[in-house]
Amino acid sequence: MKTTYSRTFLTSMVVLLLALLAVGIFLRALLDDYLTDSAYARLQKDARVISTLTAAYSSEDSLNSMEYLMNLDIADQISDADTVICDPDGTIILCADDPLGCAHQGLTVGKDYLNKVISEGSARDIGVIQGLYEDSRYVYATPIRSSDGTVLGIVIVSQSVAASKAVLHKMTDLYIAVSSLVTIVAVMLIGLFVHQQSKPLKKMAQTARAFGHGDLDARVEVNDHYTMEVEELALAFNNMASSLQKSEYQRQEFVANVSHELKTPMTTIGGYIDGILDGTIPPEKSRHYMQIVSDETKRLSRLVRSMLDISQLQSESGIPEEKKLRFDLEETVGQVLITFEQKINAKGVEVEVEMPEHPVFTMANQDYVTQVIYNLLDNAVKFCPAGGTLGVKIREGGSKAYISVYNDGQTIPPEELPLVFDRFHKLDKSRSENRDGWGLGLYIVKTIVCSHGENISVSSRNGRTEFTFTMPIVN
């Protein structure tokens, strides 16, 4: 399996080598064209100079004069090219290599080539000039014309291609040497760069493995030298790890709390049943203890039902719109309040109700909202002292309805307020009091309210505790 290091390194090197190869081919072709054009430009210039010189001496019938031959030799040496002069029939009459008597004299240029040069005014070719030179050459030919336009012959100037190719080969060798040096340096720099880039990924992999093996405190160290993307990945991993760690701690706490809550009623049920079966409990008291077993069984049933409600709410990730309907909050609060009439009268609690004179409609799941109000009122009645006061208040604010449930009684310590909505949280840590409660009521309340996209808050001071949650107002 390829690592990030090897994959990135090989990809970078392939791209670099392809780039160097493409640049080399382009430069070689460009240089070859430049050398060829330069060679023809020089040959053209030399051919025209010699053509003009020859035409001038031909008008004086001085082509065999020593002055002309010396000028022709000097022009040939300056140009570093080879020159032959042909008469109108194409026969070579002079050769710059040896103006006094060259072996090329007397040779004849083909009629087609001669006519081409004369008709087109010049000819530019590359190749081997049969009978004159054995190597490949750049060839440029131009006609010799007198002042009246008569063709006196042609001048053929040539230069070996090997000279230009030698320059091209030297430039190619130089480019290869420089490219090799660049490649070596690039290998070291790219290797170092890729290593630095893959290093944090390796650390993340190691941290992930450690986290997967149970080290929930494992985190990726965030370095200022990381790139923005790697830093974002490291922070995202750490946030995920923190969330998973918190979830694991909550799971462990949940299991411990459930185990603790189930242990007492199960022990009670098992003890009383065993006592009845083995005769420890006399028959005349069996009914009393069977009633206790029944009450404990119902309490277990309520716990299971509450846990199922929580699971359903959390799995839905919000209340679907098809499960919402328009209803009057005031009417719902009134119906729930009536169900607590006996408990309220039994404790002599005074009830305060403050609501608008007109209906307050909301769009929500009525059953869930009813459960929220029920749980809050149940807590208020439970913790309100005999002869105390509890109340329900609905007020409007913008597009929200604020529903408050409050009661007199002992205030909640400030350090406990952030925890009242946690699962299985009770103010009495020993759980010796309030045996009817499981610490799930307020957790269910918050889960329902948050599932509607709303908020709930609690305040407790000066002997009064108040819970307030919001719901949207609709016309």
One digit per residue, the tens of pLDDT, for the chain of length 475 reads 567 677 778 888 888 889 989 998 998 889 888 888 888 898 898 888 888 888 888 766 666 677 777 777 777 777 778 888 888 888 888 887 666 667 677 788 888 888 899 999 899 898 887 767 778 889 999 999 888 888 889 999 988 888 788 888 888 889 899 989 988 998 888 888 877 777 777 888 888 888 888 888 888 887 777 777 778 888 888 888 888 887 777 677 667 656 766 776 787 788 888 888 888 888 888 888 888 888 778 767 766 776 676 666 666 667 788 888 999 999 999 999 998 888 899 999 999 999 999 999 999 988 889 989 988 998 899 999 999 999 999 999 989 999 999 999 888 888 888 888 876 666 554 333 444 544 677 888 888 898 889 999 999 998 999 999 999 999 7
Residue 94 is predicted with a pLDDT of: 81
| Concatenated DSSP letters of 239-294 | HHHHHHHHHHHHHHHHHHHHHHHHHHHHHHHHHHHHHHHHTSS-GGGHHHHHHHHH
Q: From CA 73, how far away is CA 99, in angstroms rounded?
A: 7
Per-residue confidence (pLDDT) for residue 402, from 0 to 100: 96
| CA 61 to centroid of chain Cα atoms | 86
Alpha-carbon separation of residue 114 from 77, 119, 258, 292 (angstroms): 25, 9, 112, 131
Residue whose C-alpha is closest to residue 32's, from 207, 192, 165, 226:
165
pLDDT of residue 245: 82
Structure confidence at residue 162 (pLDDT): 86
Which helix (H) or strand (E) segment holds residue 401: the answer is strand 400-408
Strand pairing category for 325-328 and 350-354: unpaired
Give the pLDDT confidence score for residue 328 in this predicted structure. Answer: 95
CA distance 171 to 28: 8
User: Beta strands 389-397 and 350-354: pairing type?
Assistant: parallel
Closest residue by Cα to residue 385 from 353, 414, 352, 344: 344
Length, in residues, of the chain: 475
CA dihedral 20, 22, 27, 30 (to 10 degrees): 180
| Summary count for the chain: helices (H), strands (E) | 10, 12
* pLDDT of res. 186: 87
What is the model's pLDDT at position 317? 64
Domains of the chain in sequence order: 4-166 (3.30.450.20), 228-312 (1.10.287.130), 318-472 (3.30.565.10)
Of 44, 92, 51, which is closest to residue 72 (Cα–Cα)? 51
CA distance 200 to 195: 9
Q: Which pLDDT does position 72 carry in this prediction?
A: 75
Q: How many whole angstroms separate alpha carbon 265 and alpha carbon 241? A: 37
Give DSSP secondary structure letters for 422-457: STT--SSTT--S-TT--S-HHHHHHHHHHHTT--EE
In angstroms, the CA 223 to CA 47 distance is 72
- Longest C-alpha distance within the chain, in Å? 162
Residue 351 has φ and ψ, to the nearest 5°, of -110, 130
Q: Tell me if 419 sits within 8 A of 472, measured CB to CB.
A: no
pLDDT for res 141? 92
pLDDT 10s digits, 167-189: 888 888 898 999 899 889 988 88
Cα separation, 16 vs 31, whole angstroms: 22
Amino acid at 113: Y
d(CA 409, CA 466): 11
Backbone φ, ψ for residue 303 (5° rounding): -60, -45
Question: How many angstroms separate the CA atoms of 142 and 430, rounded?
Answer: 118
What's the confidence (pLDDT) of residue 257? Answer: 59
Please count the other Cβ atoms lying within 10 Å of the Cβ belonging to residue 143: 23
Q: What local confidence, expressed as pLDDT, does residue 250 receive?
A: 67
Assigned token pair, 293: 């077993």
DSSP β-ladder status, 400-408 and 464-472: antiparallel
The whole-number pLDDT of residue 431 equals 37
3-state secondary structure of 328: strand
**Closest C-alpha among 93, 79, 87, 95 to residue 117:** 87
**pLDDT for the residue 148:** 83
